[in-house]
Chain A
Amino acid sequence: MLNELLFKFATWLDGFQSSTNLHEALYAYGWVEGTHVLTLTLFLGMLLAIDLRLLGVAFKELPASTLIERLDRPMMIGFVVMLISGALLFYAIPVRSTQSIWFRVKVVFIIAAGVNALLIRNMTRASDMSWDNDPVPPKRIRVGAALSLGLWILVVASGRNMAYDWWDCHKEMPYFMYWAAGCVNEMAAFE
């Protein structure tokens, strides 16, 4: 049922002229995609610095809170640009994106990374940052930071794989894959 809903939504978006224009224009899509990839260096670059500190592997002379608080703004600026450019990329090719198993996996990982970030934030607040000046933070924080890096690596890899058509709907796949990718027409025609 969710697959049907998502497919309807994507098809509705696909109907807009601006969606087609964005996809087919000579440069527009390229600029948006280029912005999306390059802004990664700002967004995930700042996150990398924070996570390396939380892992106790770099910037050990600085209090962890300094990096977390002071790098938050550039990181969030990067994140907003990623969201906007990502939304535009989705809007340009809504049906294929919705039915891309890699896009779905990417969204799941992004949500997981967000939840992980919230958990880390709660942990730091609960602990009153008593470990702030310790070169190596407590184990729970380090696990959270490692998870953060791991999840974002998976986000980047999934995003990269979206370009490949290994599991596109037009390919012959097991029913489970059609369901996972939301290939509603192929699911209906399976028998």
Chain B
Amino acid sequence: MTANTLGKVAAVCSIVIIIGWGVYWGVQVKDTMCLLEASTAEEMPECMDDL
């Protein structure tokens, strides 16, 4: 594999990981925090609508 091709493949992989995994993980953390809030709050927090 030439350096040029490797560079392109590596860049695409890295960007997909940083953005893709970042968004997926971020949503998971947000939802869990929302569930935690809901379990301890008296009324349903607004974030429950987005779950």
Interface of A toward B, CB cutoff 8 Å: 26-27
Residues from chain A with a CB closer than 8 A to the CB of B37 are 26
Minimum Cβ distance to chain A for residue B3 (Å): 26
List which B12-50 residues lie within 8 A (CB) of chain A. 33, 36-37, 40
The CA of A27 and the CA of B36, in the complex, are separated in Å by: 9
Chain A proximity of B33: nearest CB distance (Å): 7
- When C-beta atoms are compared, the residue in chain B nearest to A26 turns out to be B36
Which A residue's beta carbon lies closest to that of B39? A26
Query: How many residues of B are counted as interface, with CB atoms below 8 angstroms from the partner's CB atoms?
Result: 4
* Interfacial chain A residues near B33, Cβ < 8 Å: 26-27
- Can you show 6 pairs from A to B with CB atoms below 8 A apart? A26-B33, A26-B36, A26-B37, A26-B40, A27-B33, A27-B36
Q: In the complex the two chains form, what is the Cα distance from A26 to B33 in whole Å?
A: 9
User: 6 nearest interchain CB pairs?
Assistant: A26-B36, A26-B37, A26-B40, A27-B33, A27-B36, A26-B33
| Cα distance, A26 to B40, chains bound together (Å) | 9
| Chain B residues within 8 Å of A26, by CB | 33, 36-37, 40
Q: Which residues of B contact A27 (CB under 8 A)?
A: 33, 36
CA distance A35 to B44 in the complex (A): 29
The CA of A27 and the CA of B33, in the complex, are separated in Å by: 8
B40: A residues at CB distance < 8 A: 26
Q: A27 — nearest CB in chain B belongs to which residue?
A: B33
A6–B40 CA distance with the chains assembled, in angstroms: 34
In the complex, what distance in Å separates the CA atom of A27 from the CA atom of B34? 11
Q: Please, which residues of chain A bring their CB within 8 A of the CB of B36?
A: 26-27
- CB proximity of A151 to chain B, nearest CB, Å: 35
How far apart are A47's CB and chain B's nearest CB, in angstroms?
29
